[in-house]
Structure 1
Amino acid sequence: MAEVNLTIDGRSYPVACDDGQERRLMQLGSYVDQRMREASVSGSSNKVQAMVLASLMLADEVFDVSEKLTQARETIQNSPPTNESDSKIEYQGLSPNDEQNVINLIGQMASKVEKLTARIQKKSA
């Protein structure tokens, strides 16, 4: 378990987190600190009011994202199904040069297989 010291509104808060999550927690702390500073500038006369205002700002952001996610899901569910032929990849063939290269490689592999077969037959005889 790791511990990170977050500075929010000028005060330090030690917060425990899973190993590897330190950077994310620092980003979150910085984001909350930014919202606290915005709330303080908005005319809050004390720390508790600023914290309540910052919490409301953060909750508003969460609600907005949640609503957008719900709308996106509905859009996906209500969209017509895609035609399978639209998503198929059709083979267009090889260029004559590439086709000849493949033929040559297959010929080389066949020759090697024949040689290996002959060796195996020789050794087992």
Structure 2
Amino acid sequence: MPQVVVSIDGKTFRMACAEGEEAHLSGLAQEVDARVNELRKSFGEIGDQRLVVMAAIMATDELSEQRRRVAALEQSLAETERAHQDALRRAEAGEERLVAHLDAISDAIDRAAGRLGGQS
């Protein structure tokens, strides 16, 4: 299993990851490091553990908001799909009525043609 060495808040950590995930893990660690540094600039020296917890809460808050947005989009997509299926059913019903009307017109034309042919 590959290992990656990352630096967060000036501290080095060796972390294991799945094959091919090394760059992704390094990128995530850089984001955490940036959050901790941002918090340190805003709040000063309030303790490493507190800064890391605050960074984790901020990331979790963003994740929660994204999950909420995904759920809303999934609901909207499902409603759109239901509306699409309803429209297809209505279109099929309209098509069936149109075919029935065309059949009736065709029959009427055939009857009229038969009557006209019998008059000669």
| TM-score range normalised by the length of the shorter chain | 0.5 to 0.7
Q: In the alignment, residue 4 of structure 1 is paired with which amino acid?
A: V
Hey, what does 1:91 align to over in structure 2?
A: none
CA distance in 1, matches of 2:71, 2:24: 25
SS of the residue corresponding to residue 6 of structure 2 reads strand
5+ unaligned residues in a row in structure 2: which ranges?
89-120
Give the TM-score, by structure 1 length: 0.62
1:33-92 per-residue CA deviation (whole Å, 9 max, x = no partner) reads: 1111112122151111111110111011100110110010011011221656xxxxxxxx
Hey, what does 2:24 align to over in structure 1?
A: 24
C-alpha contact 1:6 1:29 (8 A) present in aligned 2? yes
Q: In the alignment, residue 13 of structure 1 is paired with which amino acid?
A: F
Hey, what does 2:57 align to over in structure 1?
A: 56
- 4+ runs of 1 displaced by more than 6 Å? none
Q: Percent identity?
A: 25
CA distance in 2, matches of 1:41, 1:64: 25
Hey, what does 1:100 align to over in structure 2?
A: none
Q: In the alignment, residue 52 of structure 1 is paired with which amino acid?
A: V
Equivalenced residue count is 84
Q: Cα RMSD between the aligned structures?
A: 1.4
Hey, what does 2:75 align to over in structure 1?
A: 74
Q: In the alignment, residue 57 of structure 2 is paired with which amino acid?
A: L
5+ unaligned residues in a row in structure 1: which ranges?
85-125
SS of the residue corresponding to residue 14 of structure 1 reads strand
Give the TM-score, by structure 2 length: 0.65
Q: Whose helix fraction is larger, Structure 1's or Structure 2's?
A: 2
